[in-house]
Chains A and B, each alone.
Chain A
Amino acid sequence: MSRDDTAHPEGPSAYPQAAELELRHVSKRYPGEREPAIGDLSFTVPAGEFCVLVGPSGCGKTTTMRLINRMTPLSGGEILLGGQSVLDRDVRKLRRDIGYVIQQIGLFPHLTVAENIATVPKLLGWNKDRINARVEELLRLIGLEAEGLAGRYPAQLSGGQRQRVGVARALAADPPLMLMDEPFGAIDPINRARLQDEFLALQAKVKKTIVFVTHDIDEAIKMGDRIAILRKGGMLQQYDTPREILAHPANDFVAQFVGADRGIKRLSLTTLSEIKLLDPARDRAGARRISASASVRDALSVLLTDGGRALAVVEGGSESGGDGGEGRLLGFLTLSHLERLIAEEYEQDRAPGEGQEPAPAGARGAGA
């Protein structure tokens, strides 16, 4: 976890392990301001987990992120990366160990895509061959190798391509921690969803510890293993899995922030492969097919638009809501069956003081 490991001479990515991040009673005060930007914030992101900081503007989420790589100096408390205080490390070396992606991306306009990606490896003094191998590996990882983009300048790229290059640049030295500040904020909704899916697939491969800042609760639910919901002054309202936050908001602020449709949102966290289906032995001719990787929310939507006819859940198919093609039949889903599952779930899951929201069928622990 020290920087010496990063400069390991063998292989382009000799530093695969993620590091745990721990914030202990962190505070930030700006001179001349009465209220602290962050009062007393503590939470831990286990190694390899995707943590989303979310909250309204002014809640201190970006400040929190910038405290970690010391872009903003800490006023009090401690931040530990891999068990070592970030203050004990040389600030340049610390930052070279932390992938950093910002909303405007900040690609260097005078450097090519390949040179941009090579920035941190160059700072770390890798040799040319190792840098070239790593750049190629990353271009492949983000799916830009085939398009011959390595020699282009940022001005010649589309917004989505720039964003991917920004992520590749942050990943270049295989950092144990990634900090991402609204990285998809400036991208149009259609491309944003695609970039989010791509990034989740990427994270499944690279398994970094990630601190991801957004003001968009839907993005937080989609991306995070854990979500930290902050309120003005960096007050942590709830730190939990998306499922728990949607099922059991800790207070009114969280309930309001996640929205009145949290019941529906929760359904999007469960895929059809995770729930009990009706027996596939009783074939129902003409049932519409849906992939088991689709979410319960998507299935509900199809059921509602299809007049409540049964759905045939089949294996395979990756597109959420896709028809699943010719995969093996796993079972059937009807509106009344879904209703039954939700009722069962609700009985098991009843929380004190909560009552009216539907709970998702067969909810299990979050993926992490």
Chain B
Amino acid sequence: MSASPQLAAAGPVIPHYGTQSSQCVVHNHLFCWDWVEGNWSSVLWPALRQHVYLAVVAVSIGFVLSIALALLARRWRWTEQPTILITTFLYTIPSLALFELLVAPVGANIYAAEIALVSYTLLILFRNILTGLRDVPPDVLDAAEGMGMTRTQQLLRIEFPLALPGIIAGLRIAVVTTIALATIVYTIYDAGLGVPIHSALGEGPFKTELIAAAVLTIGLAIFADGMLVLIQRALTPWARARRAG
């Protein structure tokens, strides 16, 4: 486990080695907490922030687009099949290939990155939103209409609230997959937790950076998922209400 003298003499092969090398880093232990501390503000924190930004923007845009597509499919049923076809096609394109393909028309920038990420959320979000809206019981809609609600009132006061559990279930999947997928944005654009992961992979046996970035990615995904669960609980108290207490 300890670094060989030759390696240490050959200069800094450890990424973001810094000027102050601890015993842990010098001996190349599996995980060096002091390296994380030393590089948090310069390497890990910026990457994490970029990652959150990438994911939030992608899921938000994907969500708005999917709602629009779901409303279209509800209004004009014939649009559902083409939408499913296209979103499924987008979903099946290998991610590395899609990122590369977008470079030519869009450039190696954040737009290309977001376009790719958004396109992977559409299938999941569209289907969940549409299913959620379609699962609203017909008698509930009949009552709403019979009581004199307009289409918009029915949608906002009845259908969306009742579709929320399904919609949030879709959001959870979309958020987790987007956070995972955003680690390969580095291939075209220098942002996200993929950057430290990639540099750690490329540069020798030092594993701390790789582990730290991976753990941050996983932690971010779990945290975001948990937040969505809490949001759902807060927004849909009725979904857990069963029988008189």
State the A residues within 8 Å of B (CB). 69, 71, 91-98, 100, 102-111, 119-120, 123, 152-153, 155-157, 169, 179
Contacts and interface: CB of A to CB of B under 8 A. Distances in A.
B142 A102 contact: yes
A123 B236 contact: no
Nearest to B136: A109
Contacts of B238: 109-111, 153, 155
B1 interface: no
A105 B142 CA distance: 10
Contacts of B143: 100, 102, 105-108
A96 B243 CA distance: 31
B241 interface: yes
B9 interface: no
Given A102-B146, A109-B162, A123-B153, A156 B139 contact: no
Contact of B140 (A93, A94, A97, A108): A108
Contacts, number: 79
B158 interface: yes
B141 to A, nearest CB: 8
B132 to A, nearest CB: 12
Interface string B126-162: 0000000000010111111111111001000010011
A110 to B, nearest CB: 5
A108 B149 contact: no
20 contacts: A69-B146, A71-B145, A92-B149, A95-B146, A100-B143, A104-B139, A106-B142, A106-B143, A106-B144, A108-B140, A109-B137, A109-B162, A110-B162, A111-B238, A120-B148, A123-B147, A123-B148, A123-B153, A153-B237, A179-B146
B153 to A, nearest CB: 7
Contact of A108 (B144, B146, B148, B244): B144
Nearest to B165: A110
Interface of B: 137, 139-150, 153, 158, 161-162, 236-239, 241-245
Contact of A120 (B139, B140, B147): B147
Nearest to B140: A106
Contacts of B158: 108, 110
Given A155-B241, A155-B242, A123 B144 contact: no
A96 B139 contact: no
Contacts of A104: 137, 139
Closest 5 CB pairs of A and B: A106-B143, A95-B148, A104-B139, A96-B148, A100-B146
Nearest to B160: A110
B139 A105 contact: yes
Choose among A91, A109, A155 the residue with the greatest number of B CB atoms under 10 Å from its CB.
A109
A119 B142 CA distance: 14
Given A105-B139, A106-B139, A96 B147 contact: yes
Contacts of B142: 71, 102, 106
Contacts of B241: 152-153, 155-156
B150 to A, nearest CB: 6
A92 B244 contact: no
Nearest to B162: A110
B137 A110 contact: no
A102 B142 CA distance: 9
Given A109-B162, A110-B161, A152 B140 contact: no
Contacts of A107: 140, 143
Contacts of B242: 155-156
Given A94-B148, A106-B142, A108-B140, A152 B244 contact: yes
Contact of A71 (B146, B161, B237, B239): B146
A252 B146 CA distance: 36
Contacts of B236: 110
Given A153-B238, A155-B238, A100 B147 contact: yes
A92 B150 contact: yes
A102 B147 CA distance: 11
Given A104-B139, A109-B162, A123-B153, A156 B146 contact: no
B139 A92 contact: no
A100 B158 CA distance: 17
A178 to B, nearest CB: 11
A102 B145 CA distance: 12
B103 to A, nearest CB: 46
A106 B162 contact: no
